[in-house]
């Protein structure tokens, strides 16, 4: 992936993907299920992640790479297997973004209510 540098307009860094990338990655049912499986805490192999799913290991691998590009998971090689684990920080940042938006909507609705109640 050389030459594919992601830049954040707000912070000036290129290290951390944006919350938009996190939301986009979580917009797929399979990827959301993988995040849920990895949220149990222990790193899991692709074989373990594919168990009980109607998705091939190759498809799981592709989904994990999308999640990794969004900063949600990271893989580490252990012997012949790649173990995947969740990085919770991008989820916490996305939650903070949602809380900000929620607060803005609450304030706007309060102003509207005050205006209507006059």
> pLDDT tens digit string along 10-62?
333 345 567 888 999 999 999 999 999 999 889 999 999 999 899 999 999 99
Nearest 5°: the CA angle 98, 75, 26 is 25
- Taken in order of first residue, the domains within the chain and their CATH numbers are 19-117 (1.10.10.10)
Distance CA 15, CA 36 (A): 24
Nearest partner of 86 among 39, 27, 18, judged by Cα: 39
Q: What is the pLDDT of residues 92-114, one digit of tens each?
A: 888 888 888 888 888 888 898 88
The model carries a pTM of 0.71
Q: Is the pLDDT of residue 5 over 60?
A: no
């Amino acid at each position: 992936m050389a030459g594919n540098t992601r830049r954040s307009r707000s912070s000036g860094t290129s290290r951390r993907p944006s919350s938009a990338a996190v939301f986009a990655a979580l917009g797929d049912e399979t990827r959301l299920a993988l995040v849920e499986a990895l949220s149990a805490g222990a790193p899991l192999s692709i074989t373990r992640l594919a168990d009980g799913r109607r998705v091939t290991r190759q498809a799981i691998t592709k989904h994990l790479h999308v999640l990794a590009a969004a900063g949600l998971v990271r893989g580490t090689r252990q012997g012949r297997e790649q173990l995947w684990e969740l990085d919770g920080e991008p989820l916490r940042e996305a939650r903070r973004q949602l809380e900000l938006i929620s607060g803005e909507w609450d304030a706007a609705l309060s102003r509207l209510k005050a205006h209507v109640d006059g």
